[in-house]
Structure formats: C-alpha cells, structure tokens
Amino acid sequence: MPRWSLTLMAILASLVISITAVVALAAAMIYPRLPSLEALKDYRPKQPLRILTEDGALIGEFGEERRAVVKINEAPVFLRQAILAAEDERFYQHGGVDTLGILRAAMANVVSGRVKEGASTITMQVARNFYLSAEKTATRKLNEALLAIKIEHTLSKDEIFELYLNHIYLGQRAYGFAAAAQIYFGKPLAKINLAEAAMLAGLPKAPSAYNPVVNPSRAKTRQLYVLGRMRSLGHIGEAEYRQASEQRLPLKYSPLSYEVQAPHLAELVRQRMFEKYGESIYSSGMKVYTTLRRVDQQAAVSGARLGILEFHRRRGYVGPEGQIKLPDDADLADKAIENALLEREEVNGLLPGVVLSLDKQRMRVRLRSGEDIDLGASELKFAERFISPKLARDKRLGRGSIVRVARAEPDAPWQLSYVPQVEVALIALDPANGAIRAMVGGFDFKRSQFNHVTQAWRQAGSSFKPFIYSAALERGITPATVFDDAPIAVDPAETGGVQWEPKNYDGTMEGPMTLRAALAKSKNLVSIRVLQAAGVQHAHEHVAKFGFDMPRIPPYMTMALGAGEVTPLTLAAAYAVFANGGQRVTPWHLLKVTDKDGRVLESFTPPPASPAIDPRNAYLTASLMQDVIRRGTATGALKLGRGDLAGKTGTSNEHRDAWFAGIQATRVAVAWMGYDQPRSLGSGETGGGTALPIWVRYMGEVLKDTPEMPQAMPAGLVQHNVDAQSGASTSGQGGVPELFFEEYAPGARPPANPLDALH
C-alpha cells in the first residue's frame, strides 16, 4: 500500500478517535446535568375543560391547548403503524438514537447535496418537546441524543410512544393525536379510519406545511407518502393502500367541531364553571357531564339544519356570495380557488365552493377539499334568476362565482344554498323531571353566540292558546262548549289602548263550533271569545302557574292570540305541565363535575317538581292538542304514525315567528324560526309549514324505538257522546265521545251551559 494512503488512513483514524473522544468527554460532562425525568414519569399535561353529553359524547372543550390524553392501547393499531412508518420505523429496535437511521439520512443528504432527511427518533422528539428548544445547533442535538438515551433507560418503549401520542403538536391548537382526530375529522381517535390515520401521522414533520385545512394539496401528498411507507413495511396490502389513497376526506374542521354539536349549551356550562372555579378550568382537565343525550342532540341539530335548507328552497336563491377571476392556466386557477376558499369556513354543513363551469345541463363546483361536484338541472332552475346574462357580472352566476352547497342527508344530491340570515332554535326536555335532552340555540354558533333558546323573547302566537283553553276548562267550559266563529270588535280598554278587530289566519269564518274543533283549527275569533268567557284576570293568574315571566304577558285580550313574549325554553317548560299530569318542572342541564382522574367534585339532581294544575286539566288540554295533529293545523306530524303526540302550531303577527310546541310522555320539544330583527318570514310561512317539520324530524328520530305511551286518564273525568257540531249530549245515541270534568258533565248539575255560571 502506498505510503500516502497509510498516512491518509492514519489521519482519518486520528480524526475519528479525536471526535469520538471529544463527544465522549462532552457526553460525560453533559449527561449528569441532564434534567430529571419526573415530568415524564408523572405526566401531567395541561388539559382543557371538557363538556360531554350524559352518554359521554364530547360537545365542548375550553383551554389554550386542545388535548385529550389516551392510553396507547386506545389508539388504533394502524395509526401506530402509520406514525412509525412516517417518523421512526426502527423505534422498537434502537436505544433512543438510531445509528442506522443517521447513516441512511447522511447518505441521502450527501447524494442530494442538501439536508433532505433527518434522523430524529420518536424518543428524541419526546426529549425535545418536553425539555429542549427547537434551535438547530450541535449542542442541542447532542443534548437531545443523550436525553433520548436517558429516557430509554427510564421508560418502556410503550410509555415513550404514549407520551408522543399525547404531547406532539399537530396544528390548529391540537396537542396529541386524540385532539387532532376531533379537530380535523370531528370524531374520537378510536373511530378514525386508515386514510385519516395516515393524514394525521403526516403532520408531526411540519404541522403548518401539511395542515389539511390550510394546505390540502400538500397534506394529501404527505398522506400518500405515509401510506406508501406503510405498504413498503408490510403494514398494509395493495388493496388497503389503494382504497385509503382514493378515499376522500371531507374535513369537519371547525374551532367548534365535536362529536356532537351543542355549542350554545357548552357555553352555558363554561360560564357557570368559570364563575365557580375561575381560570383553572382551562388547564385542569375537569369534565362536566350534562343531561343532553347524543341521539337527541344529533336529531335536533339535523332537524334544525334541514329546516333552514327547506326554508331556502321555498324562498328562492339569493345569488353568489362573491366572485374571483380564474386564470386560463389550470395550476394558477387551482391556486386562486384554494386561496379564495381558505378565507371562507364551513357554516353548519354549508360548504364554500367556486364555480368552474356552467351550461344548460349542469354546474361544476370545486370544494375546498379539492373535490369537484356537479349540480344538476334542479339547481339550475333554483338559481335561474341569477344565470341571466342581463345581470351585472358581480351578481351573475358563472365561472369564478363563490357559492355554498349542502346535502340534506349524507348520501343526498348536492344542493345550491346560501348562508342564512334567518335563525332557528329547538329545545327538548324530559317532562318528568325537566332534564334538557337537546338544545339548538341558533343555526351557527361561530356567526352568533346569541342563544335563541334562552335569550330570544318572542311572541308565541297561537302556540299560547292551549294555556287560555286550560284556564277556560277550570271555569267550567268544556271541550263540547260551542262558540261562534264570527267577527268581533274588542274595546280599547281590553287591549291596552287600541280598538281591535282581529281576524282568523285564513280570513274565513265557520260560525258556531265546539272548543275542541276551534283549537284544532286554531280559530283566533273563537280563542278571543274563550278568553272573554273565562275572564282575563282568571286566565292571567292561571297562566302564571306554568312558570312564565308574567310581566312579559300583559293581562289583555291580546293574550288570547299569544301577544305576550316567551322564550323557547319557557314555552317548553310550560308545555311539560300538559305532558306530565300537571306538574311544573324546572329545566336543568348539569349532571356532574369530575376532575381529570374522574373523581366527582359536584353532582346534581333534578329540581323538585311542584303541582301546577289539576291533572284532569292537563290530560284534557293534551287531548284537545291531540286533535290539532289528528285533524287540525299540525297534520304533518301524522307521518310519524303515532297516537300519543299532541301539540300546537303558532304564527305571530305578519309571519314574524313560526312555532311548534309538542308533547309525548317522554319528550316535550319546541321548534322556532324567525329573524333576530323581527320581520316577516314571508307569505305562507307558518308554524305548521316552517317549524313543525323541524319538530317532526327530531321526534321521529328520538322516538323511533319507543312504543306508544298514551297518558293514563286520571280519576274525575267522564265520557259522554255529543253531537260534533252542536256539542249537545246525544244521550249515548250516536255522536262522538267527549271528555268532561265529572262536575261539568252533561246533566251533572244546572245550569246545563257552564257559560251561564260565569255571569
């Protein structure tokens, strides 16, 4: 061997020995001064306040860091495989520093001429995230490697991996994979699929660059890389790779996206917790369980959303919400679309999109996910007013228009829609104890935090009539009592100052009819006569028994048509009295508060109920409201095929509010729609057509596995046959059966007409 070769080898050997000695000396000096690992052995991360349904579904989190701590065996196997494939395939073989990985990365960097790969192991990432800065210096890297070795000597591999699963930052304020699954896909970690797991596993390398919300195309590229690595390592086969690669992942990301959407109730809970515990709630990991139930809340949210979509279809399209110029170059056009859509968030299932093309057969729209969808002839007809070439370019639908699309159901065709101005609310209670089972306080919490269930004081319209009829029953008026559906003029002294000549909703009059028929048909003129007969003062005092805020319900004749103000919550609590046999219940929503380890800090029981009205009155009024569904203004509820439902429609003056309040033995629910600044919903928008469908969807889902539960008739009621038109007793010969308080039954005592007793 030539002398120069031997010299070179000696120099290199000396250099290696010197470097090794320096590193060894540095390690010997640094290792004893490495930080204690107590923080790892007793891992106590900041955890947000978490709010859940009665059956454990997450509805809210509040804290600087969104984090949910899970055990390693709670993470799907394919997620763990995806993380190892993306970050550290030899994790279970090396001792904290992967020598082979370092050599492989060094070779790749030499070949490429730049720093293309790193060799940071999962253990080194844990060391860096817990103890070190992100600076890229030789000293920091040495500290990181030594600390990784120390960690490996202290903790098991699974313990290290569990720390990584829970502590790594993954963008959008998400720390750990459980929080990221909830934020990006709106589901618990245990329910993600392979495609979603690969997307999440790609995030640690660069959470900003591969964020699927901000950079969907880069995120997709990174996901495909992770899936390819999993295939190469034998974790998945070719079929699984193809299926996951081709699967579209419609992101459910929102700062308020959870397994179950109930932001208005979650905010009520947060306010209460802050008042009691202060700032500590945002980092202590406390949990609050509420009375909401998963199925109820999901049904309520779906019903309210569909109610808005159907309202839009009836009222017509309002035009695109913006325009962008799309270059002819495809790449530049894609970038322009991506930038435009990043500025617009999903609004309760209404997805932003950009029109790519439009002709006589279809409209093609690009969504933020990168998916292209086609809207057919029905949507072109829906929007035909905005396709006219006579319109100004910024008003006209065409290439570059920014639109909203939605699906009524997961597999339904796409529809053209728009962000609504109208608002919606739904509240459901258990009438037995007042537990709130569902609350939708508005269409979109991000847009408006105003809780329409608890804060919106609106005129109840005809949904208030059952309370007037209930007052009348107390005064001896019966379901068979006949009133005249005829013109009436009310003195100013009885209305609060103005002459009043009310009319029926449809402008028609049918002459004499029974109380039962009048409520079923929601006859305004009869309701006024019923209030006159019962007495305004008596009725006002009777209404107070249901828990209303009485200063908002002035004791005038206008009370007969629901001119007083109620909230959906107070109306629901009042209707519960008819469902539970006359007991007044107080709505409540807290079950228990626990610390992060599950120890109960507070527990709650239902507020005690109190007698409100005669059980016979509750039963009889509910019976009258059953006819509203069977043959009156709420026949739309007949599609549920149940005989144990009762309720009342309501439409306030000039169609400003649409209501439906209904009961069943296990649920009382109230649906409402209107504008924040009261104005007409539009001609033809009524409680029966606008609010009732929301209620029907909710009840249909909640009661689908519940058998019919007719109320038990209390003692003191008797049945007699009467003529359906005149209300007169038929002495058992023909007619229809009717119920009476036994003291007011036909022939029970004179006078036969109970109205005579009121004079």
**Hunting for tokens 């035009």 — which residue is that?**
319
Cβ neighbours for 422, distance < 8 A, ≥ 6 positions apart: 308, 311, 443, 673, 674, 675, 681
Q: Report how far residue 305's alpha carbon sits from residue 65's, in angstroms, rounded to the nearest whole number.
A: 30
- Residue 464 is part of a domain; what is its CATH number? 3.40.710.10
More confident residue, 182 or 268: 268
Q: Are residues 618 and 750 in the same domain?
A: no
Q: What local confidence, expressed as pLDDT, does residue 5 receive?
A: 67
The alpha helices in 433-521, defined as continuous H runs, are 465-474, 515-520
Least confident interval from 118-122, 581-585, 694-698: 118-122
| Peptide bond just before 479 cis, omega within 30 deg | no
Amino acid code (one letter) for 601: L
Q: Are residues 691 and 564 in the same domain?
A: yes
Q: Are residues 669 and 636 in the same domain?
A: yes
Summarize the confidence of residues 410-432 as an average pLDDT: 95
Q: Report how far residue 241's alpha carbon sits from residue 195's, in angstroms, rounded to the nearest whole number.
A: 9
Environment class of residue 36 by beta-carbon count within 10 Å: exposed (0-12), middle (13-18) or buried (19+)? Answer: exposed
**Hunting for tokens 């107390």 — which residue is that?**
474
Q: Are residues 434 and 583 in the same domain?
A: yes
Which helix or strand (DSSP H or E) is residue 86 part of?
helix 77-87
729 occurs within a structural domain: yes
220 occurs within a structural domain: no
Q: How far is CA 282 from CA 45, 60, 225, 271, in A?
A: 12, 12, 37, 12
Q: Are residues 442 and 577 in the same domain?
A: yes
433 occurs within a structural domain: yes
Give the pTM. Answer: 0.84
128 occurs within a structural domain: no
Burial 478-492, CB ≥16 within 10 A → b, else e = bbbbbbebeebebee
Specify whether the CB–CB gap between 575 and 613 falls below 8 A: no
Q: Are residues 687 and 557 in the same domain?
A: yes
Q: What local confidence, expressed as pLDDT, does residue 693 receive?
A: 98
Question: 657, 677, 702: which is the final residue of a domain?
Answer: 702
Specify whether the CB–CB gap between 289 and 266 falls below 8 A: no
DSSP string, 581-610: TSEE---B-EEEEE-TT--EEEE--PPPPE
Q: Are residues 511 and 439 in the same domain?
A: yes
Conformation bin of residue 654: beta by default, left when phi > 0, alpha when psi is -120 to 50: left
Residue 632 has pLDDT above 90, yes or no: yes
Q: Are residues 652 and 616 in the same domain?
A: yes
Q: Are residues 549 and 665 in the same domain?
A: yes
Summarize the confidence of residues 720-732 as an average pLDDT: 88
Specify whether the CB–CB gap between 477 and 754 falls below 8 A: yes
Phi and psi at residue 627, to the nearest 5°: -70, -25
Percent of the chain with pLDDT over 90: 67
Neighbours of 128 (CB within 10 A): 18
Specify whether the CB–CB gap between 227 and 236 falls below 8 A: yes
Q: Are residues 465 and 563 in the same domain?
A: yes
Q: Report how far residue 446's alpha carbon sits from residue 174's, in angstroms, rounded to the nearest whole number.
A: 19
* Helix 77-87 / helix 194-201 crossing angle, nearest 10 deg: 30
Q: Report how far residue 427's alpha carbon sits from residue 405's, in angstroms, rounded to the nearest whole number.
A: 27
Cβ neighbours for 476, distance < 8 A, ≥ 6 positions apart: 741, 744, 754, 755, 757, 758
Summarize the confidence of residues 709-713 as an average pLDDT: 96
Tell me the pLDDT tens digit for each residue of 442-465. 999 988 899 999 999 999 999 999
Tell me the pLDDT tens digit for each residue of 67-109. 878 999 999 999 999 999 999 999 999 888 877 666 665 455 4
**Hey, which residues does 593 pair with through a beta bridge?**
288, 602
Instruction: Give 660's pLDDT tier (boundaries 50, 70, 90).
Output: very high
Q: Are residues 473 and 517 in the same domain?
A: yes
Q: What local confidence, expressed as pLDDT, does residue 702 receive?
A: 98
| Active site residues per annotation | 87, 462
Residue 419 has pLDDT above 60, yes or no: yes
Residue 271 token pair: 């306010």
The candidate with the shortest Cα–Cα distance to 363, out of 314, 318, 313, 401, is 401
- CA angle, 253 then 255 then 261, to 5°: 80
Tell me the pLDDT tens digit for each residue of 346-398. 888 899 999 999 998 999 999 987 889 999 999 999 999 999 888 888 889 99
Neighbours of 344 (CB within 10 A): 18
Q: Report how far residue 308's alpha carbon sits from residue 426's, in angstroms, rounded to the nearest whole number.
A: 12
Tell me the pLDDT tens digit for each residue of 269-279. 999 999 999 99
Q: Report how far residue 578's alpha carbon sits from residue 470's, in angstroms, rounded to the nearest whole number.
A: 10
487 occurs within a structural domain: yes
Q: What local confidence, expressed as pLDDT, does residue 410 receive?
A: 82
Tell me the pLDDT tens digit for each residue of 289-348. 999 999 999 999 999 999 999 999 999 999 999 999 999 998 899 889 988 887 788 888
Pairing between strand 363-367 and 372-375? antiparallel
Which helix or strand (DSSP H or E) is residue 728 part of?
none
476 occurs within a structural domain: yes
More confident residue, 434 or 505: 434
Pairing between strand 287-290 and 49-52? parallel
Domain that residue 754 falls in: 719-758
Residue 117 token pair: 């790969």
Q: What local confidence, expressed as pLDDT, does residue 595 receive?
A: 95
Which helix or strand (DSSP H or E) is residue 275 part of?
helix 263-277
Specify whether the CB–CB gap between 413 and 358 falls below 8 A: no
Task: Provide the domain count of the chain.
Answer: 2
Residue 675 token pair: 């504008």
Q: Report how far residue 107's alpha carbon sits from residue 232's, in angstroms, rounded to the nearest whole number.
A: 20
96 occurs within a structural domain: no
**Hunting for tokens 């005064």 — which residue is that?**
475
Specify whether the CB–CB gap between 455 and 494 falls below 8 A: no
Three-state secondary structure string covering 282-344: HCECCEEEECCCHHHHHHHHHHHHHHHHHHHHHHCCCCCCEECCCCCCHHHHHHHHHHHHHCC
Q: Report how far residue 230's alpha carbon sits from residue 242's, in angstroms, rounded to the nearest whole number.
A: 12
The candidate with the shortest Cα–Cα distance to 93, out of 143, 157, 45, is 157
Environment class of residue 275 by beta-carbon count within 10 Å: exposed (0-12), middle (13-18) or buried (19+)? Answer: exposed
Q: What local confidence, expressed as pLDDT, does residue 134 receive?
A: 56
415 occurs within a structural domain: no
Residue 294 token pair: 């998963």
Phi and psi at residue 741, to the nearest 5°: -60, 140
Task: Using DSSP, state whether 431 is helix, strand or coil.
Answer: coil
Q: Are residues 660 and 735 in the same domain?
A: no
Q: What local confidence, expressed as pLDDT, does residue 493 receive?
A: 75
Q: Report how far residue 115's alpha carbon sits from residue 103's, in angstroms, rounded to the nearest whole number.
A: 13
DSSP string, 366-393: EETTS-EEEE-HHHHHHTGGGT-TTS-T
Residue 622 token pair: 């509910």
- CA angle, 290 then 296 then 302, to 5°: 125
**Hunting for tokens 């209107």 — which residue is that?**
674
